[in-house]
Structure 1
Amino acid sequence: MDNRVLRFDHVRILINKMLMRGSKVTREGKYVMSNVPRQLVYGTMVYEPQTIVSDTSCALSRQITIATRYSAVRGQFGSQNGSLETRVIDYQTQQSWLFPLLASAYAFRFVGKRLKWLYTDVTQRLQAGDFSTLPEAHTCTADLKSLTTSITALPSGKKPVGTTAYMGRMEHLMRCTSDIQGAEGWLKSHVVLQAFEARAARMSVACAQKLAKFVNPEEGFAEISPNLVEASVAHCQLIVVSKFIEKLQQDIPGKGVKEQLEILCSVYALHLLHKHQGSLQCHCAS
Structure 2
Amino acid sequence: MTVATTRPAVLADKDTAAIYRKITWKLIPFLCLCYLAAYLDRINIGLAKLQMASDLSLSETAFGLGAGLFFVGYILFEVPSNLILQRVGAKIWIARIMITWGLLSTATLLVQTPMQFYIVRFLLGAAEAGFLPGVLFYLTKWFPSWRRSRIIALFMIGLPLSSLIGGPLSGWIMGNFHEVYGLRGWQWLFLLEGIPSVLLGVMTFWLLPNSVESASWLSEDEKQAVKRELATDEGEAKGGKHRLRDGLLNIRVVMLGGSTFPFC
State if a TM-score over 0.5 links the two structures.
Answer: no
TM-score under structure 1 length normalisation: 0.26
TM-score under structure 2 length normalisation: 0.27
Which one has a larger percent helix, Structure 1 or Structure 2? 2
Larger Rg: 1
Instruction: Point out which structure has higher relative CO (alpha carbons under 8 A, 6+ apart).
Output: 2
